[in-house]
Structure 1
Amino acid sequence: MATVSFCDLRKSFGAIEAVKGLDLEVADREFVVLVGPSGCGKSTTLRMLAGLEGISGGEIRIGDTVVNALPPRARDIAMVFQDYALYPHKTVYDNMAFSLRVRGIAKPEIESRIREAATMLDIDKLLERKPAQLSGGQRQRVAMGRAIVRRPKVFLFDEPLSNLDAKLRGQVRAEIKKLHQMIGTTIIYVTHDQVEAMTLADRIVILRGGVIEQVGTPDEVYDTPASLFVGGFVGSPAMNFVRAKRDGEELVLDGGERMAVCDLGPRAERVGQEIVLGIRPEHFVSSGDAPARLTGTVNLVEPLGADTLVHLDVEGATVTARVTPHFRPAVGERLPLGFDPARIHLFDPDSEKAVA
């Protein structure tokens, strides 16, 4: 097992700087997820760690070893790819055994490792099949098994679930989490799916434009987003944003509606008059008894079974509320939505950073 360290890591493709001075410490046995939109630098960072991509500057350490100049085979890592990368002409057993045979591992040890990993992943009855005879989920398990038998210091996962359907994604995601609990190896996992990040990670690293926006536990990035970007990226549906001004003990929305939020204290005053109010959809209540409220015109209702999403126009901004399953306002209805001011987030509209 090993720690992983990135120090001022940089990567440029010509004039384009894909990773811009990334600093990160991953603890031994930690499960860290790199998440962000396409083009944010997460897969490039993973490929540099694996040795599949050269670095333009900075340093990468695995344990106490600087690996900048080491070839991939010397880094003692195992990588699970998006497309599985299985040999189509080899059986499951031979796919899992290949790297061990190349390293000169004795046949009884290879047999033992493969049987152990296959049992762990419930593919022990598939060892004589070839990849074309397997489902997508089974192929992904084989790819994971091939990584497990190597017993590396670090596991790397590059969007391993993106080719699976929704049901299989949930199943394999649970298997990856159980795998980490069983073997305890350091895992660095890349995804664009914030649900995967929230459910799998010990810590989440949110990237944007080649830089880190925030690092924290799933609860930390959800409950205390450091910026407008993080607030809007983490959570489904996304956080609502409404522009407002502070006027004494009230916030005044762009369209003129006033909300009494006297218990905000100095938070709004620190950014002057202009402010962006952030409210998560699940923090609204369809009640006039809440400490604060805003009013909007309903333009769409989405029943989801367990709850209902109500989309409203609030002073020109689109706001989504997650409400109880049988609440069905009519399209065009003026609807007041209450909320607890302690659950809102405030952001500086210029810097886009959260106001503490």
Structure 2
Amino acid sequence: MASVSLRKLDKSYGAVQIVKGIDLEIADGELVVLVGPSGCGKSTTLRMVAGLESVTDGEIRIGTKVVNALPPRERDIAMVFQDYALYPHKTVAENMGFSLKVRGVGAADAQKRVQDAAQMLGIAHLLDRRPGQLSGGQRQRVAMGRAIVRRPQVFLFDEPLSNLDAKLRGEVRTEIKRLHQTLGTTILYVTHDQVEAMTLADRIVILRGGDIEQVGTPDEVYNRPASTFVGGFIGSPAMNFAKARAEGDRLVFADGNWLPRVAGPALVEGQAVIVGIRPEHFQVAADLGTTLDVTAQVVEPLGSDTLVHFALGEAMLTARMPPSFRVVPGHKFHVGVDPAQIHLFDAASEKAIS
């Protein structure tokens, strides 16, 4: 196991800068998830750590060793890809043990490593099959097993669940979490799925346009987003945003609705702000501080809860309400908001007002 350090890491293709001098310290045994939309630089960063992409500028350390100039095989890492990258003509056991054979590991030791990894992942009964005889989830477990037998210092995962259906994604995600808890190996994991990030990570790194927007625990990025970008990216459904202005101790929206603001951020009278409220922080009860008088536009019953979409000023918002809540499109209703759950962002920079 080892720590990973990225210092002023930069990647450009000609005049196009993909990764913009990021700094990141990953502790030994930590599971860190890089998350962000397509094109934000997360996979490029992972591939630079793996040695599959050259570094334009900056430094990568694995443990105490600078690895910029080292080929992938000398970095003591193992990578799990989204497309499995299995040899179709080899059995599961042969796929998992191939890298050990190449490295000259003895047959008995290699067989034990393969058996141990297969037992850990619940695929011991599949060792004689070939990839074409396996489901997507089973193939991904084989790919993970191939990485485990290497006993690397660092695991790298590049969107490993993106080819799986929703049920299998949940199952394999649990396997990855259990794998980390069992082995305690450092893991750098890339995904565009914020649910994966929240459920797996010790810390989440949110990337935007090649820059780090925020680094924090799942609790920190959910409860204290540094910007509207983070607030809108983390959480499902996404955080609601509506423009308002400060009037005394009120936040007044364009349609005349208003919310009280708790003591904290100092606002100038008339200051334009962006109010952020998560869908799950709306309540039916009106005793949380105040209510908004709104009209239902779209209602989505989900069984466990009901999503109600409504306009507030110029914005369309979503409230996650209890399944017993009954409203039909076109009807007015009152929704309660706890002032302590309101996030404020600067209208110009879209950064959190602290």
TM-score normalised by L of structure 1:
0.97
* Moved >4 Å (runs of 4+): none
* Contact 1:270–1:355 (8 Å) recurs in 2: no
The one-letter amino acid of 2:325's match is F
Instruction: Please list, as runs of the form range in 1=range in 2, the aligned pairs for 1:297-308 lying within 5 A after superposition.
Output: 297-308=295-306
Q: Contact 1:293/1:339 (CA < 8 Å) preserved in 2? A: yes
Equivalents in 2 of 1:308, 1:255: separation in Å?
25
Q: Which residue of 2 aligns with 1:220?
A: 220
Q: 1:223 to 1:271 in 2, by over 3 A?
A: farther
Match of 1:3 in 2: 3
1:190, CA displacement in angstroms?
A: 0.2
Distance 1:57 1:44, change over 3 A: same
% identity of equivalent residues: 66
Do 1:31 and 1:201's aligned partners in 2 also have CA atoms closer than 8 Å?
A: yes
Partner of 2:55: 55
Indicate the residue corresponding to 2:312 in structure 1: 314
Matches of 1:166 and 1:268, distance apart in 2: 44
Q: How does 1:113-132 map to 2 (within 5 A)?
A: 113-132=113-132
3-state SS of 1:269 partner: coil
Give the secondary structure class of the aligned counterpart of 1:95: helix
Unaligned runs of 5+ in 1: none
Q: Quote how far apart the aligned CAs of 1:266 are.
A: 4.5
Q: How does 1:249-328 map to 2 (within 5 A)?
A: 249-259=249-259, 261-262=260-261, 264-269=262-267, 273-328=271-326
Q: 1:288: how far off?
A: 2.7
The CA deviation string for residues 15-57 of structure 1, in whole angstroms up to 9 with x for no partner, is 1111001100000000000000000000000000000000110
Tell me the amino acid that sits aligned with residue 103 of structure 1: R
Aligned residue identity for 1:240? N
Structure 2 match to 1:329: 327
Q: Hey, what does 1:209 align to over in structure 2?
A: 209
Matches for 1:65-80 after TM superposition, within 5 Å: 65-80=65-80
Indicate if the aligned counterparts of 2:247 and 2:270 stay in contact, CA closer than 8 A.
no
TM-score normalised to structure 2 length: 0.98
- Structure 2 distance, partners of 1:207, 1:258, is 33
Alignment check: 8 A CA contact 2:246 2:268 kept: no
Contact 1:271/1:348 (CA < 8 Å) preserved in 2?
Answer: no
Conserved? CA contact 1:246–1:268, under 8 Å: no
Point out the more displaced range, 213-222 or 309-318.
309-318
**1:352 has 2:350 as partner:** yes
- Structure 1 match to 2:181: 181
Q: Which ranges of structure 2 fall in alignment gaps of 5 or more residues?
A: none
Q: Secondary structure at the match of 1:105?
A: coil
- 2-structure distance, mates of 1:18, 1:304: 39
1:27 corresponding residue in structure 2: 27
Change (3 A) 1:256 1:200: same
Q: Distance in 1 between matches of 2:154 and 2:220?
A: 25
2:183 aligned partner, one-letter code: I
Deviation at 1:265, TM superposition (A): 2.3
Alignment partners' CA distance in 1, 2:20 and 2:270: 31
Give the match's secondary structure for 1:322. Answer: strand
The aligned amino acid for 1:89 is: H
Q: Which amino acid aligns with 1:197?
A: A
Please state how far the C-alpha of 1:293 moved relative to its aligned partner. Answer: 2.3
Equivalent pair of 2:248/2:269 in contact (CA under 8 Å): no
Structure 1, residues 214-256: CA drift from partner, whole Å, max 9, x if none?
1000001001001010000000000001110111111111233
Shift of 1:271: 9.2
Tell me, in whole angstroms, the C-alpha distance in 2 between the residues paired with 1:196 and 1:135. 21
1:94-133 aligned within 5 A: 94-133=94-133
Q: Which moved more, 1:148-157 or 1:9-18?
A: 9-18
CA distance in 2, matches of 1:165, 1:171: 10
Q: Which residue of 2 aligns with 1:37?
A: 37
Q: How many residues are paired up? A: 354
SS of structure 2 residue aligned to 1:214: strand
- Could you say what secondary structure the match of 1:49 adopts? helix
SS at match of 1:265: coil
Change (3 A) 1:5 1:271: farther
